Amino acid sequence: MVGGLLLGGASVAGAHPGHDFSGDSKPFKERYFDNGVVGDVSPGGVPMEALSGARCEDGMAADLFPCHKVDLASFTPLQDLDSTFLNDLWGWEDEVTGMQLAIVGTYEGTAFVDVTDGENPVLLGTLGAVDPGDSGNTWGDVRVFEDTAYIVTESIDLSTYDPATGYLEGNGVQIVDLTQFRGVTEEIEVVEEPRITDFTQSHNVSINTETGRMYVVGAVYSVKNECATAEGTVYSGSGGAIVYDLNGDPAAPSLIGCLNEDGYTHDIQCVVYEGPDEDYQGREICIGSNEDTVTLYDVTDIDNPVVLSRLDYEAAAYTHQGWLSEDHRFFFLGDELDELYGTAPERTTYIWDFSDLDDAELIGIHGDGNSSIDHNMFVKDGLLYQSNYTSGLWIYDTWKAEQGRVTSRGYFDIFPSDDRTDFFGTWGNYPYFGDGKVVVTSSDEGLFVLQSRAKSSSQNNGKGVSPASVR
């Protein structure tokens, strides 16, 4: 989501959170969100009752959800999660017990849901938000390193704001040892470790599990560490990545660097690059979705990060999020506002060739006629799993990415009433549990556990979805 930041009534460009210290404006998403109100039927036309075990047949599941090659394992409505709104999620699979845990951002905090049996999910607990009444709880994200979860939100505690110094308290990073859920079969009180408090809020978090580095992005308020770019004002951070090392003690990360070179970063993916560019193989490369450009960093030496490229494109409205192909050659990008602002005529995915990191090239623009807004996307086994607000989860085959195209393989529409160009519906998905299980959040409905039968042709599978089936 995108929002404007007002400090004493003055707009500050390039900041995502949407808090208003003058009390007279709301960010995009919050204009639709009435805290605490959940109707009998969602804005997407979904009855707010639990469902399970509905196969996709003849283009429909449960006589309600348009679909193709994706079945409904279960639907858990908001009220069964003790919530009124969901944002992003991630997952954890316990190597000891095999438990599959969905870690779900909610307006009220973070819900921990056992989805091992996809048809019978169990809420195991909720970690409360810093300030349950703050609009910043609309946005949240979580990532996992080994057995520890790291949770960020935009939430702040306005009661602590000191206009003379810019001091402000907020969520920071909440840290949860996930092994506390081993053997748990019912709701417990979630215990958190001492949190990171050297900045107030952040929009997103990413972890390179190969190197054990955590990248916190979008922190602009009351940054109190060496990554601060201003003093004596609440707006003291650039929003660039604040980098922590998780290897020593995952419960007590150590600050090791910052990426302020290109200002605000909305989302980021960092990898040990294994793509075709021999100059950078084996180096830690980050791809920042930085509002108006895709920005590539070499962060191998975190004390001296280098910006390799700032990639712009004609239709840029809000460079939101993207994900690398598994061979690191291609980057699939979503722009959150191109459809809404009309710079793109339809739901659009931008395909970049990263064979030369110093001269990356936009080689394709995929559209499929749908009017919804694309959001978070991830790649697994040659398939791109893309959350699209009002049209749900779409699964694309990336096997012809070198031709600048992807092919639809399946979908599940969690917001069946329409495909309006607006910020209702699915926020994020997690496709990494394996065996086709995909967990999907819908802000206005609840948590979906889906079972995909879509396969990539790169693995000798499947036929595409015909253009006529695209709603």
pLDDT at 425 over 90: yes
pLDDT at 8 over 50: no
Q: Sorting pLDDT into bands at 50, 70 and 90, what band is 93? A: very high
Q: What pLDDT is recorded for position 232?
A: 85
Q: What pLDDT is recorded for position 130?
A: 77
Any idea which residue has 């092919």 for tokens? 407
Q: Mean pLDDT across the stretch 353-364? A: 98
Mean pLDDT of the chain: 90
The C-alpha atoms of residue 377 and residue 163 are separated, in whole angstroms, by 39
Q: Sorting pLDDT into bands at 50, 70 and 90, what band is 137? A: confident
Beta bridge partners of 95: none
Q: Sorting pLDDT into bands at 50, 70 and 90, what band is 37? A: confident
The C-alpha atoms of residue 130 and residue 108 are separated, in whole angstroms, by 9
In terms of pLDDT, which residue wins out, 37 or 160? 160
Q: Sorting pLDDT into bands at 50, 70 and 90, what band is 135? A: confident
Of 366, 428, 426, whose CA–CA distance to 390 is shortest?
A: 426
Cα-to-chain-centroid distance, residue 317: 18
> Domain 11-36+50-469 adopts which CATH fold?
Methylamine Dehydrogenase; Chain H (2.130.10)
pLDDT at 2 over 70: no
Could you tell me the end-to-end alpha-carbon distance of the chain, in angstroms, rounded to an integer?
Answer: 24
The C-alpha atoms of residue 405 and residue 123 are separated, in whole angstroms, by 39
pLDDT at 222 over 50: yes
Q: 303-354 pLDDT, tens per residue?
A: 999 999 999 999 999 999 999 999 999 999 999 999 999 999 999 999 999 9
Q: What pLDDT is recorded for position 192?
A: 97
Q: 98-130 pLDDT, tens per residue?
A: 999 999 999 999 999 999 999 999 999 999 987
Percentage with pLDDT > 70 across the chain: 90
β 392-397/407-412 pair status: antiparallel
pTM value is 0.92
Q: Mean pLDDT across the stretch 208-226? A: 97
Q: What pLDDT is recorded for position 435?
A: 87
**Domain residues of the chain, as ranges?**
11-36+50-469
Q: Mean pLDDT across the stretch 414-427? A: 96
Q: Mean pLDDT across the stretch 39-61? A: 97
